[in-house]
Amino acid sequence: MASCLREGHIVFHLPAAILLLLSVTASAAIPCDFPAIFNFGDSNSDTGGLSAAFGPAPPPNGETFFGRPSGRYSDGRLIIDFIAESLGLPYLSAYLNSIGTNFSHGANFATAGSTIRQQNTTLFQGGFSPFSLDVQTWQFTQFVSRSQFFYEQGGFFKDILPGEDRFSKALYTIDIGQNDITSGYFSGKTTEEVRADIPDILNKFTISMKSIYLLGGRYFWIHNTGPFGCLPYVLDRLMLRAPEVDHCGCGTPFNGVAQLFNSMLNETITELRKDLPLASLTYVDVYSVKYKLISQARNYGFEHPLKACCGHGGMYNYDAHVGCGAKTVVNGTEVVLGNSCMEPLKRVSWDGVHYTEAANKWVFNQISEGALKGVLKC
Residues annotated as part of the active site: 43, 351, 354
Coil/strand/helix, residue 282: strand
- Choose between 159 and 343: whose C-beta lies nearer to ligand NAG: 159
SS3 state at 327: strand
Is residue 120 a contact residue for ligand NAG (CB under 6 A)? Answer: yes
Report the distance separating Cα 44 and Cα 223, nearest Å.
10
Nearer to ligand NAG (CB atom), residue 90 or residue 243? 90
Q: What is the smallest separation between the CB atom of 202 and ligand NAG, expressed in angstroms?
A: 13
CB of 40 vs ligand NAG, minimal distance in Å: 18
Determine if 330 is a binding residue for ligand NAG (CB under 6 A).
yes
Q: How far is CA 189 from CA 49, 130, 151, 181, in A?
A: 29, 21, 47, 10
**Long-range own/partner contacts, residues 163-166 (CB < 8 A, 24 or more apart):** 165/35, 166/35, 166/36, 166/105, 166/106
* 114 binds ligand NAG per the rule CB under 6 A: no
Whether 168 contacts 218, CB under 8 Å: yes
Between the two ends of the chain, the Cα-to-Cα distance in Å is 43
Q: Which is nearer to ligand NAG, 23 or 296 (CB)?
A: 23
90 binds ligand NAG (CB under 6 A): yes
Whole-angstrom Cα distance, residue 319 to residue 146?
A: 42
Nearest to 179 by CA among 121, 249, 240: 121
Residue 111 DSSP label: -
Cα 43 to Cα 31, 128, 175, 320, distances in angstroms: 28, 11, 9, 16
* Closest CB to ligand NAG among residues 102, 206: 102
Binding residue (CB under 6 A) for ligand NAG from 97, 114, 119, 360: 119
Position 285 contacts ligand NAG (CB under 6 A): yes
Contact segment (CB under 6 A) with ligand NAG among 114-122, 167-175, 316-324, 352-360 equals 114-122
**Any residues with CB less than 8 A from the CB of 20 and at least 6 apart, and which?**
285
| Binding status of residue 160 toward ligand NAG by CB under 6 A | yes
**In terms of Cα–Cα distance, which of 232, 295, 228, 223 is closest to 266?**
223
Q: How far is the CB of 160 from ligand NAG (least distance, A)?
A: 5
Taking CB under 6 A as the rule, does residue 225 contact ligand NAG?
no
Give least dist CB 96 to ligand NAG, A. 18
Residue in 85, 152, 159, 343 binding ligand NAG, rule: CB under 6 A: 159
The DSSP bridge partners found for residue 355 are 349
Could you tell me which residues come within 8 angstroms of residue 276 by beta carbon, excluding any fewer than 6 positions away?
209, 210, 213
Candidates 26-34, 100-108, 226-234, 312-320: pick the segment binding ligand NAG (CB under 6 A).
100-108
176 or 308: whose CB is closer to ligand NAG?
176
Question: Segment 259-278, which members bind ligand NAG (CB under 6 A)?
Answer: 266, 270
Q: What is the dihedral of CA 28, 32, 38, 39, to 10 degrees?
A: 90
**Can residue 102 be called a binding residue for ligand NAG (CB under 6 A)?**
yes
Size of the site for ligand NAG (CB under 6 A): 16
Binds ligand NAG (CB under 6 A): choice among 72, 117, 312, 354: 117
**Residue closer to ligand NAG, measured from CB, 55 or 100:** 100
CB nearer to ligand NAG: pick between 147 and 349:
147
Cα–Cα distances in angstroms (integers) from residue 50 to residues 9, 89, 104, 105, in the given order: 42, 22, 21, 21
| Contact assessment for residue 296 and residue 247, using Cβ atoms and an 8 Å cutoff | no
Our finding on whether 141 is near ligand NAG (CB under 6 A) is: no
Q: Using the rule CB under 6 A, is 88 a contact of ligand NAG?
A: no
Q: At its nearest, how many Å lie between ligand NAG and the CB of residue 360?
A: 20
Residues found near ligand NAG in the complex (CB under 6 A): 23, 90, 102, 104-105, 117, 119-120, 159-160, 266, 270, 283, 285, 330-331
